[in-house]
Amino acid sequence: MVDRTDVTEDPPSGPGSAENRGERSPRFSFTPAFVLKLLFLAAVNGLAIAGLPAMLDQGWWPGVASVVVSTVFIDYVYLSRRTVPAKYLIPGTIFALIFQVIPVVYTGYIAFTNFGTGNILTKDQAIERAESLYSSVPGSQRFQLSILASEDGEGELALLLTDEAGNRFFGTAAGLEALAPGEVVIDDAGKVLSVDDFVALNLGQISDRQDELLSLEIPSELGLVRPITATTAAVYNRLYEYDAQTDTLTNLETGEVYTPVQGNFTSAAGESPEDIPGWSVVVGFDNFKRILTSEAIRGPFLRVFVWNYVFAVLSVVLTFALGLLLAITLNHPTLRGRRVYRSLLIIPYALPSFMSALIWRGLLNQDFGVINELLGANIAWLNDPWMAKVSVLLVNLWLGFPYMFLISTGALQAIPDELKEASYVDGASPRQAFRQVVFPLLLVTLAPLLIASFAFNFNNFNVIYLLNSGGPPIEGAQTPAGHTDILISYTFRLAFEGGRGQDFGLASAIALLIFIMVAGVSAFSFRRTRALEDLT
């Protein structure tokens, strides 16, 4: 459908035409479609303008350049009459970048970093966190506290401190000084009202300036006086000090010096303080080396890797075999009630897979499951390593065979009956006709779908995780791995369920390997299936 606001026919030339009258035809006509286009471009430009300040504050110049260039390009394309094809290509390209290209590229980038629970900040944020840590001064007393501020409560903050002996001290960021009794204005109830130009703050004002109070430090001879609550304060010492010239962090209590090593402040003994977070840095191929060299990861990874291929291949073979068998059976022209049978067989495919997996989890429960009650047995369907694998394959067979049944039925009905009849005339038996004529023609149509099914089952997270969470656990494994885990569920558990925190860098490295393996197998399979095209 052509956009009439962009492509217009040349006006007829003649004595009465606008061209001969010396008039110029209007560049834009304000039709409803053109108005909608302007509203769309206004929304796009509004989003771009709204996002630019945050990018500028963070200094993310590649993002700023990308937003500006892409916004100008979109405006040009949709306002120009010469870029009609691009108007239809841009939306699909943008969605492909957002939902496919950028996630893959970003995952690939994270795979080469140490990004995770302990390394999620920037270096500046980690230093700021270290310098915000304090240790209490042994033997120091606590003070009763009143919080004041100048300029009627809107200006500089100050602390009025009262020690156990009743002595009062007035402190600002500049320092602490003792007060005479008459310098503090107190009401009849003993509540502090003001000190010089500083007035006491109420709870609402204190709450509004909480962030300022948390960062307030009053230097004194004993250390740094800091508020603990709205009514108490204590003396602290700074725990760490950062030296920008030597790029080192020093523990002021122990004198230990830490230098930055791969995103963590590390001592000469190779230890990092637990109270200081690390930051995200590029570590190269370290995550991939950990997969291959760390025994804690390599052992479970190899078992999960092998089972992943077995699970994907057997899922495709079993579902295709059952689906094709049912399709052949129900494709017989003399069979009555074929439509009813076909409708019943697609019920597992019509139900949400996550709901079916949860139902099967209850049915296969060892103690309360219906299946064990019907069999009068106590089979550990989901708790025994081998039975768990069998259960996962059976449940996936239940969920997957209707799809294979549908595509096989369609492919069978598309094969001309004349081909089978010709093979019978040549003396072929029904089995030979199916093996040498029908089945090769089926593969021509179904081979790409079988490859897609392999890729889907290779990453079939729902069935594995919802049925038994990848269990039972592998004994002795130092990483969260189970006997029925596939790579995608193992990656999820490493990233989000690790006992020592979330390791996004390692999980992204495994995800990148999964992407490469699936892409490689799919490319090889598609190349091999080209030979089937010669049959047509």
Q: How many alpha carbons lie under 13 Å from residue 350 in its C-beta half-sphere? A: 6
Q: What span, in angstroms and rounded, lies between the C-alpha atoms of 139 and 29?
A: 82
Q: pLDDT at position 148, please?
A: 92
First to last CA, the chain: 35
- pLDDT of res. 18: 46
Task: State which amino acid sits at residue 158.
Answer: A
Instruction: Determine the average pLDDT of the residues in 381-387.
Output: 93
Of the candidates 49, 53, 89, 92, which has an alpha carbon nearest to the alpha carbon of residue 72?
49
Q: Give CA–CA dist 416/6, Å, rounded.
A: 48
pLDDT attached to residue 8: 44
Six-digit token string for 288: 């991939």
What's the DSSP call for residue 473? B
If we measure between CA atoms, which residue out of 82, 516, 58 comes closest to residue 288? 516
Determine phi and psi for 179, rounding to 5 degrees.
-115, 145
The 10s digit of each residue's pLDDT in 423-464 is 877 777 878 888 888 888 888 889 889 999 999 999 999 999
Alpha-carbon distance of 168 to 165, in angstroms, equals: 9
Q: What is the mean pLDDT of residues 500-520?
A: 86
Q: Please report where in the chains the tokens 């966190």 appear, as a residue.
A: 129
Element (H, E) at 218: strand 218-219
Residues facing 186 on adjacent strands: 192
Portion of the chain with pLDDT greater than 90, in percent: 33
The DSSP H or E segment spanning 261 is strand 257-261
267 pLDDT tier (thresholds 50, 70, 90): very high
- pTM, 2 dp: 0.72
Are residues 514 and 459 in contact, defined by beta-carbon separation less than 8 angstroms?
yes
Token pair of 405 as six digits: 């049944």
Give the residue-averaged pLDDT of 316-342.
Answer: 89
- Is pLDDT of 19 > 60? no
| Per-residue pLDDT, 4 | 44
Pick from 203, 243, 242, 236: which is nearest to 220 by CA?
236
CA angle 392, 371, 483 (to 5 degrees): 25
Peptide bond into 62 cis (omega under 30): no
> What average pLDDT does range 473-497 have in this prediction?
83
Q: Which domains are present in the chain?
A: 32-110 (1.20.58), 134-238 (no CATH), 292-535 (1.10.3720.10)
Q: What is the mean pLDDT of the chain?
A: 85
Please compute, for residue 55, the number of CA atoms within 13 A of its CA located in the half-sphere on the CB side.
15
Contact present, 437 and 420 (Cβ < 8 Å): yes
Give the Cα separation of 507 and 111 in Å (integer). 7
pLDDT at residue 492 above 50?
A: yes
pLDDT of residue 536: 52
| Mean per-residue pLDDT, 215-228 | 88
pLDDT value at residue 499: 54
At 498, list the tokens: 């690790």
Give me 77's structure tokens.
């394309």
| Residue 219 identity | P
Interval 111-136 mean pLDDT: 89
Residue 371 burial by Cβ neighbours in a 10 Å radius (0-12, 13-18, 19+): middle
Judged against a pLDDT cut of 70, whether residue 535 lies above it is answered with no
pLDDT at 534: 56
List the structure tokens of 159.
């602390």
More confident residue, 448 or 501: 448
Transcribe 305-326 into DSSP letters: HHHHHHHHHHHHHHHHHHHHHH
